[in-house]
Structure 1
Amino acid sequence: MFAWLETSGIAALWAVALARAPHGLRNRFQRPLWLAIVMIALAMSMHLEPVTAALANVVPDEHWIDLSKHLFSIVDAAAVLWFILGAADRRRHTTPVFGTAAAVMAALVLLDLAAPPHARNQIAPDPATPGVPDAYWWVFFLFHLLADTTCGIVCWLYGRQDTPRLLRLGLLLFGTGTLLASLLWVLKLVYLQTRSPDLGPLFSPVTGAEAWFMAVGAALPVALQLRAHRDHRRTYRGLAPLWRDLTSANPDVVLKPGNRLSALAMPLQLRLYRRVIEIRDAMIVLRNYVTPATLEAVRRHVAAQSVPAHLTDAHVTACWLAAALDARRNGHAPQSQTVNLAGPDATDLDEETAHLLQVATAYCAPSTGTYRASPAGAG
């Protein structure tokens, strides 16, 4: 009845893997997580009936298909544990994690070879059915239980620390998914001991819930990246009117890209960074066209416009930029500037960009247009 939950959860994992592929392949720090998501999706997919049927057409012996899926799932669990531990404390536990995984895989192969002839590596409802010994399943399930429980606990511990909200929620959801995987292994251990028919129907919905929690948890960082890209795009466009006027009057401040193709291929964040630098450089040039009388007139004008206090500096800057542009276009000579027109001190690029966006918004605001039309602005 809940087969759709498992299928849809695995499909969601594949969708997240595809969405993260461009960033995961380029960024060496994100590549392990992306590979882990792909391996989780692949390991779960291999247990779906259509996939098993397709494998049967390639490998006619179902026994070897079962064993291969189990061995691959060990590699998958080790890879996820390796990434989570590395992301948590920035150290890679390669030898203990993959060494243990190799030992478990060797044990499974030896137990399988030592077992009497059997058609499948599955827990048969009747214990008398020939198959691998219970030790095979204990080794298999306990390794998964240990790996998934460790991943879940680490994700929950780091998901409760001081991290961005979406990333924190993503860690908690991904950790919940791995803990649901632990629940699945506990259920299978109980089934191994009891062979209760009531437990079998629980495996698929628990797997589906596990896949959905992991998919949503892994997708949230993508949502964070998309939101950051949207904010950068909005800021880039918001700065455009101010940037066009300032750079048209001061073309020398424009940083020349290598060629048009490289400019189009430049990441948006880098283009935004260049635009901020060019606006700042143009402001340094234009401030030498602002006289003390003009600056005093600008301040009186802004004070009369009922501008919110936190935007006063941005509106003053927008108005003196408009006055400086007019002075430069009219051929006025620059003069040494004794007044600090640099604006508030910014501790990082984000603060600098936010301030310039306020200036750009004020530059297009009616108050600046009113100043241009006033006798002081026209003068």
Structure 2
Amino acid sequence: MITFLHSLGVVVAWAGLFYKLRALRQNPRDPALAALCAVFALSGMSFFVSLPPVWARLDELTGIPNIAALVAQSCVLSLVVGQQVVLTYWARPPERARRLVRWQLTFCALSLAALIALFCLLTPTVQRLKGFTLYYVHDPYYIAYLSLYIGVYLIGEANVFRVCWGYSRVAGRTWLRRGLRVIAVGAFVTLGYGAVRAGNILGTVFDFDLSAWEDVAWLCGDLGSAVTLVGWTLPGWGPRVAAAGHWMTAYRRHRRLYPLWAALHAAVPTIALAPARGAFADRLVLRQMEFRLYRRVIEIRDGQLALRAHHDPAAAERARHEALAAGMPEDDVRAHVEAVRIRSALASKAEGRAAAADGTTPADPPVARNDLSDEAVWLVRVATAFAALPASAAHNGGDGAGAGSGDDGVQVEVMRRQSADGG
């Protein structure tokens, strides 16, 4: 599991680095962006050298057992400070931020020097690809080494959590707010790693053992770090993913409205703003989907208005009774009734007669729809009910028989299936 988590961290970190490098090339003078790129690079390096094959190979090349531990933990300590640098540049005026960053970098350099010195005093002669901390935690030099490392780690990650969660409450942009919250959640999870490592140190003093929590420590550290890295990039790619989701939704609704729209367009060609397309050509329309969807909604409503004189209140009332008898939910009843009303009006127009001479429509409680998006959702439900109608429903308004005479069983089964499928 640990190898998998390290590998996941490598992929997330270096993917984020390549993503941010594109932005850095466009704005090379942005110190916060440069620091963030360094955070991604250091994170990827810490995960990479922690992989057992890389760990063993690095030891072999340098001749220093467990040198990979020092490299990985030095990268982690540096990236924790790097995150503070990013937040400093984001939160303070440039001149004040530069002064504070100099102190942060000086602290980082001194901490790294102390870490290296303590590692040299430790002289770890036994290679430990797994359980390095547990093996050396009783060495006094390693206790000092780990105390320094975990102290910086816990303070840094706690500050990232505090600052990012606080800023997320006042961030104006939606995806920036979400990104900050994801960073905060990831930083909070990584505190679990720091808590277990602090427990390893305290266990040598108070005589308790946290070796059973080793997998939990790595899960918190690696998974929390990966989540944090995702959060740093989320404001950039999040809106694009959301836009793709909106496009997919619009495309799917546009396609599901086609049968209803095509039937209305065949009866009232003037409703279409653009020339009509066949079903296959309609599937190939990929651009301006939201505009096309709303245009289709408007054209369907225009078609219904044009057929108003052909509506048959009796056919709609029969459809209502049949739907209620079939046990359909209220919204599905409304959609089914509207679909039958459209089908009967189309049949009446095709036969050249006006089913409702006074131009009235059957009384039907209005469906609350706040905007065009709600209207599109409702018409998709109607279009689904329209497509599910048996052929006999087209004649409901003509002879007073229709679905109520010979096709009751089929009609009820269709309505039940429509209700089960959610309309």
For the residues of structure 2 that align with 1:113 and 1:218, how far apart are their CA atoms? 26
Tell me how far 1:358 sits from its aligned partner.
1.1
Aligned residue for 1:347, secondary structure, equals coil
Deviations 1:300-355 (A, max 9, x none): 2322322443233322332343345556767899x9x8879996342245533321
Q: Which amino acid aligns with 1:11?
A: S
Tell me how far 1:6 sits from its aligned partner.
1.6
Task: Give the match for residue 286 of structure 1.
Answer: 303
Q: Which amino acid aligns with 1:311?
A: D
Tell me how far 1:176 sits from its aligned partner.
5.6
| 1:306 and 2:323 correspond | yes
Q: How does 1:160-239 map to 2 (within 5 A)?
A: 174=186, 177-187=189-199, 189-190=201-202, 203=214, 205-212=216-223, 235=253, 237-239=255-257
Tell me how far 1:207 sits from its aligned partner.
1.2
For the residues of structure 2 that align with 1:331 and 1:26, how far apart are their CA atoms? 64
Tell me how far 1:294 sits from its aligned partner.
1.8
Asked whether the 8 Å contact 2:316–2:341 carries over to 1, the reply is: no
- The equivalent position to 1:10 in structure 2, one of 6, 12, 20, is 6
The number of aligned residues is 341
Asked whether the 8 Å contact 2:344–2:397 carries over to 1, the reply is: no
Task: Give the match for residue 253 of structure 1.
Answer: 273
Deviations 1:20-49 (A, max 9, x none): 99999999xxxx9x9878865553333333
- Give the structure-1-normalised TM-score: 0.59
Q: 1:112 to 1:365 in 2, by over 3 A?
A: closer
Aligned residue for 1:364, secondary structure, equals helix
Task: Give the match for residue 109 of structure 1.
Answer: 109
- The equivalent position to 2:394 in structure 1, one of 368, 372, 375, is 372
- The equivalent position to 1:319 in structure 2, one of 332, 340, 356, is 340
Tell me how far 1:372 sits from its aligned partner.
0.4
Structure 1: give runs of 5+ residues left out of the alignment: none
Deviations 1:204-253 (A, max 9, x none): 6511344346668999999x979989877765554343344445664833
Q: Which amino acid aligns with 1:10?
A: H
| 1:50 and 2:60 correspond | no
For the residues of structure 2 that align with 1:57 and 1:157, how far apart are their CA atoms? 46
Deviations 1:175-223 (A, max 9, x none): 66223133144246547x869996678556511344346668999999x
Q: 1:187 to 1:116 in 2, by over 3 A?
A: closer
Task: Give the match for residue 91 of structure 2.
Answer: 93
- Asked which structure has the greater RCO (Cα within 8 Å, sep 6+), the reply is 1
Aligned residue for 2:311, secondary structure, equals helix
Task: Give the match for residue 385 of structure 2.
Answer: 362
| 1:353 and 2:373 correspond | no
Q: How does 1:52-67 map to 2 (within 5 A)?
A: 52-54=55-57
Deviations 1:144-200 (A, max 9, x none): 1023234557899999xxx9xxx9x98997466223133144246547x86999667
Q: Which amino acid aligns with 1:371?
A: A
Aligned residue for 2:222, secondary structure, equals helix
Asked whether the 8 Å contact 1:74–1:105 carries over to 2, the reply is: no
Q: 1:230 to 1:323 in 2, by over 3 A?
A: same
Deviations 1:255-306 (A, max 9, x none): 99xxx9xx7765xxx63x3453132121233124324462424422322322
Asked whether the 8 Å contact 1:10–1:45 carries over to 2, the reply is: yes
For the residues of structure 1 that align with 2:141 and 2:202, how far apart are their CA atoms? 18
For the residues of structure 2 that align with 1:326 and 1:92, how far apart are their CA atoms? 66
Structure (1 or 2) with the larger CA radius of gyration: 2
- The equivalent position to 2:151 in structure 1, one of 138, 142, 145, is 142
Q: Which amino acid aligns with 1:241?
A: P
Q: 1:286 to 1:108 in 2, by over 3 A?
A: closer
- Give the structure-2-normalised TM-score: 0.54
| 1:241 and 2:259 correspond | yes
Aligned residue for 2:370, secondary structure, equals coil
Worse-matched range after superposition: 300-309 or 147-156: 147-156
Percent of aligned positions that are identical = 17
